Amino acid sequence: MNRSVGQGVQVPVRHLSLLFLLAALHGRAQHCGYCNAGLIALRPHAAYSDELVPDLRITLLDSTGLPATYNHGLPYGDFVRNNERPANWRSQRTWVEHGGFFFPFAGDTYTLVVPLGLVRNGWSVLVQDLNAAAVWPRFQQQVVPITTFECHPLCNTFNDTVYHPREGRPDFTPVDIILQTR
């Protein structure tokens, strides 16, 4: 049986049904730009202060102690300060609406977005002090272990000011790293 659609175009009903089914499946397949992505947030600070230490280089390390890679050897980028506005965010209004943070719920932290399931047992982060103003580094280089529970799913939460708990996962808290002075 055919039904008329528009001006003189004949479309079989089964084709329309298939089109609606595919559209519904496509809508379920992708929720947002962060499907299957997770956020690792770190809060490095000195033992004598709760203030986040600036000018650090933080690298994700795999279980062999080498920088984690993807696509056959390309290294992941370093962790970035959550309050550093990306160049592709040209709108000042959007940035202000986010409270001056890329991921509002993470606050003032260092962040890295990785695929969910990437972080496994034995993975860690390397924290290095790169303060150019000091004659020597202020803090010792440290390797800090991380777990899969420190990689928080981002789908439908990346824009929120509060990270809503998920069943079977701990509440969002950045990894607390106490830096040792030299």
pLDDT (tens digit, 9 = 90+) per residue, 52-106? Answer: 999 899 999 999 999 999 888 888 889 999 887 665 555 555 545 556 677 888 8
From 38-47, 155-164, 166-175, the region with the lowest mean pLDDT: 155-164
SS (H, E, C) the chain: CEEEECCCEEEEHHHHHHHHHHHHHHHHHCCCCCCCEEEEEEEEEECCCCCECCCEEEEEECCCCCECEECCCEECCCCEECCCCCCCCCCHHHHHHCCCCCCHHHCCCEEEEEECCCCCCCCEEEEEECCCCCCCCCECCEEEECCHHHEEECCCCCCCCCCCCCCCCCCCCCEEEEECEC
The Cα 26–Cα 45 span in angstroms is 44
Residue type, position 180, single letter: Q
- What is the spatial distance between Cα 50 and Cα 52, in angstroms, rounded to a whole number? 6
pTM, 2 dp: 0.74
pLDDT at 126 over 90: yes
pLDDT averaged over every residue in the chain:
78
